[in-house]
C-alpha cells in the first residue's frame, strides 16, 4: 500500500499504523461484521481519492457506498449478464431504521449490464458507481444533506428511457419524504424509492456526475448530449434543478408568398453629418443668445434681439397653470 501513499499520508500512517482489520462503526460503537466477513483492504480510507467509494450524510444518519459483494446483501444476483462476473452496485444505509437498500440494482430483478472499469488483466466490473473523491480534500456531494437523495451513475439501464448502453446519471429518492411516493411510476419496491434519469439516457457518450448542492435540488452533470435547443454540441455542464428549466426559443414559422420579404433596413445614423458639422449653415442651431434675448433671422443671418416683455409673461403664466393642473390630476 505504501507505494500509493503521498508524503503526508505516509507520515500519518507511520504515526498511526493501520490495524490488520477493522470492525464497523455503527451507532457510535465498533461492531464486528455479522457474518465475520472483513474487507480484504485493511485501510479504513482508501489512499487514492478517486477510489473512495463511500459517503456519510451531513446528519450522520445515512451512508451510501459501492460494493461488489455477490449476491448482494439484499439478495440480488449482481453478476454481469454477459461476463458472469460480480458487479459493483450502489447501496444506501439508513441508521434510523437499520435498513440497507441496493438503490442501483435493476428494479425488474434482471441481472445487470456491467462495464469493466479496470483492465483486461485486472478487471473491475461495475454496474453502477458513485463518484469518488475529486482530490484529497474534496468529495462531490453524491448524497443530499438529509440523506434522502443519492446521485449515482449506472451503466445498466434502470428505466426504459435509458437506451444508449452508456453510463448515465441517476437519482434515487426515498419514498414518502419528497416528491416520490409508492404510486410514482418510477417507484421501486427493491429500492424503497424512485429511480430516475438525470442525464438523457440517449447520448452515444457517457454522462458524468459532477456535484450537487446540500438540498439535492440542484445536480450538476456533464454530457455531450444537447439537452436544450441552444446547445449545438460538445461537452457541456448542465444543472438539473427542481422546478427549473429554460424557456426554449420559439421557432419562426416558414413564410409564404409576400410575407417572405427582406427584413426592414436598419434606421439611418442618428447623428446626420450635417448636424455634426460646425459651420455657417449651422449658425441657427448653435448660436445662443444671452438671457432676455431671442433669436431672429435677418438678412440670412441669425441675430439676438431683446425679448418682447408682454408676450413672454403671458407664456410663462400659461405654463405655470398647466403644470399646476397636471400635478393635481395625477394625485
Ligand atoms: Ca445509459
Q: Are 144 and 214 in contact (CB under 8 A)?
A: yes
Range scoring the smallest mean pLDDT among 35-44, 102-111, 169-178: 35-44
Is the model's pLDDT at 137 over the cut of 50? yes
Mean pLDDT of the chain: 79
Q: Are 62 and 54 in contact (CB under 8 A)?
A: no
Going by pLDDT thresholds of 50, 70 and 90, the confidence category of residue 9 is: low
Kindly state the average pLDDT of the residues 208-230. 89
Q: How far is it, in rounded angstroms, from Cα 204 to Cα 6? A: 37
Q: How far is the CA of 79 from the centre of ligand 1 (A)?
A: 18
Q: How far is it, in rounded angstroms, from Cα 77 to Cα 105? A: 9
Check residue 311 and give its pLDDT: 45
* Report field, pTM of the whole predicted structure over 0.75: no
Check residue 227 and give its pLDDT: 80
Going by pLDDT thresholds of 50, 70 and 90, the confidence category of residue 48 is: confident
Q: Are 164 and 202 in contact (CB under 8 A)?
A: yes
Q: How far is the CA of 127 from the centre of ligand 1 (A)?
A: 11
* 3-state class (DSSP) for residue 4: helix
pLDDT one-digit tens code per residue, 182-215: 999 999 999 999 999 999 999 999 999 999 999 9
Q: How far is the CA of 89 from the centre of ligand 1 (A)?
A: 15
Going by pLDDT thresholds of 50, 70 and 90, the confidence category of residue 304 is: confident
Check residue 130 and give its pLDDT: 96
Phi/psi at 103 (5° precision): -95, -10
Sign for the pseudo-dihedral over CA of 131, 136, 141, 145: positive
Max CA-CA distance within the chain? 116
Is the model's pLDDT at 231 over the cut of 70? yes
Q: How far is the CA of 157 from the centre of ligand 1 (A)?
A: 5
Going by pLDDT thresholds of 50, 70 and 90, the confidence category of residue 168 is: very high
Going by pLDDT thresholds of 50, 70 and 90, the confidence category of residue 316 is: very low
Is the model's pLDDT at 286 over the cut of 50? yes
Between residues 308 and 5, the one the model is more confident about: 308
Q: Which spans in 123-277 are helix H? A: 273-276
Q: How far is the CA of 136 from the centre of ligand 1 (A)?
A: 29
Going by pLDDT thresholds of 50, 70 and 90, the confidence category of residue 284 is: very low
Instruction: Spell out a b/e string for 87-97, using b for 16 or more CB atoms within 10 Å of the CB, else e.
Output: bbbbbbbbbee
Check residue 264 and give its pLDDT: 57
Is the model's pLDDT at 282 over the cut of 50? no
Q: How far is the CA of 118 from the centre of ligand 1 (A)?
A: 19
Is the model's pLDDT at 28 over the cut of 70? yes
Percent with pLDDT over 90 in the chain: 45
Is the model's pLDDT at 104 over the cut of 70? yes
Q: How far is the CA of 304 from the centre of ligand 1 (A)?
A: 84
Check residue 259 and give its pLDDT: 60
Q: How far is the CA of 165 from the centre of ligand 1 (A)?
A: 5
Check residue 273 and give its pLDDT: 40
Is the model's pLDDT at 49 over the cut of 50? yes
Q: How far is the CA of 266 from the centre of ligand 1 (A)?
A: 49
Going by pLDDT thresholds of 50, 70 and 90, the confidence category of residue 252 is: low
Q: How far is the CA of 152 from the centre of ligand 1 (A)?
A: 12
For residue 138, give the C-alpha cell.
474534496
Check residue 12 and give its pLDDT: 64
Range scoring the smallest mean pLDDT among 13-17, 61-65, 274-278, 307-311: 274-278
Range scoring the smallest mean pLDDT among 46-55, 133-142, 194-203, 307-316: 307-316
Torsion of CA 302, 303, 308, 309, to 10 degrees: 120
Give how far Cα 39 sits from Cα of 45, 48, 90, Å: 12, 17, 17
Phi and psi based region of residue 277 (left: phi greater than 0; alpha: psi -120 to 50; beta: remaining): beta
Q: How far is it, in rounded angstroms, from Cα 100 to Cα 75? A: 11
Q: How far is the CA of 86 from the centre of ligand 1 (A)?
A: 19
Q: Give the bridge partners for 301, in sequence order.
A: 298
Going by pLDDT thresholds of 50, 70 and 90, the confidence category of residue 319 is: very low
Between residues 150 and 278, the one the model is more confident about: 150
Amino acid at each position: 500500500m505504501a507505494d500509493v501513499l503521498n508524503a503526508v499520508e505516509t507520515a500519518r500512517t507511520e504515526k498511526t499504523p493501520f490495524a490488520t482489520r477493522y470492525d464497523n462503526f455503527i451507532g457510535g460503537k465498533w461492531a464486528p461484521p455479522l457474518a465475520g466477513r472483513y474487507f480484504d483492504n485493511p485501510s479504513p480510507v482508501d489512499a487514492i481519492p478517486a477510489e473512495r467509494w463511500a459517503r456519510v450524510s451531513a446528519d450522520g444518519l445515512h451512508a451510501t457506498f459501492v460494493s461488489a459483494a455477490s449476491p448482494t446483501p439484499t439478495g440480488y444476483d449482481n453478476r454481469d449478464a454477459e461476463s458472469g462476473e460480480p458487479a459493483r452496485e450502489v447501496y444506501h444505509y439508513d441508521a434510523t431504521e437499520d435498513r440497507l437498500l441496493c438503490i442501483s440494482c435493476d428494479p425488474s430483478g434482471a441481472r445487470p449490464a456491467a462495464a469493466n472499469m479496470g483492465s483486461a488483466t485486472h478487471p473491475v466490473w461495475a454496474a453502477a458507481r458513485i463518484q469518488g473523491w475529486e482530490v484529497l480534500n474534496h468529495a462531490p456531494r453524491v448524497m443530499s444533506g438529509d440523506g434522502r437523495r443519492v446521485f449515482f451513475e449506472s451503466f445498466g439501464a434502470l428505466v426504459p428511457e435509458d437506451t444508449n448502453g452508456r453510463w448515465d446519471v441517476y437519482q434515487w429518492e426515498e419514498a414518502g419524504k419528497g416528491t416520490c411516493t409508492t404510486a410514482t411510476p418510477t417507484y421501486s419496491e427493491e429500492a424503497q424509492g424512485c429511480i430516475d434519469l438525470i442525464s438523457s439516457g440517449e447520448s452515444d457518450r457517457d454522462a458524468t456526475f459532477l456535484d450537487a448542492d446540500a438540498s439535492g435540488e440542484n445536480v450538476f452533470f456533464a454530457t455531450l448530449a444537447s439537452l436544450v435547443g441552444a446547445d449545438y454540441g460538445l461537452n457541456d455542464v448542465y444543472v438539473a434543478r427542481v422546478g427549473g428549466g429554460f424557456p426554449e426559443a420559439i421557432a419562426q414559422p416558414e413564410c409564404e408568398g409576400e410575407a417572405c420579404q427582406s427584413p426592414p433596413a436598419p434606421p439611418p445614423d442618428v447623428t446626420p453629418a450635417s448636424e455634426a458639422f460646425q459651420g455657417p449653415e449651422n449658425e441657427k442651431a448653435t448660436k445662443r443668445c444671452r438671457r432676455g434675448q431671442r433669436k431672429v433671422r435677418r438678412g440670412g443671418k441669425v441675430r439676438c434681439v431683446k425679448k418682447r416683455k408682454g408676450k413672454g409673461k403671458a407664456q410663462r403664466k400659461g405654463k405655470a397653470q398647466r403644470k399646476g393642473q397636471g400635478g393635481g390630476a395625477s394625485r
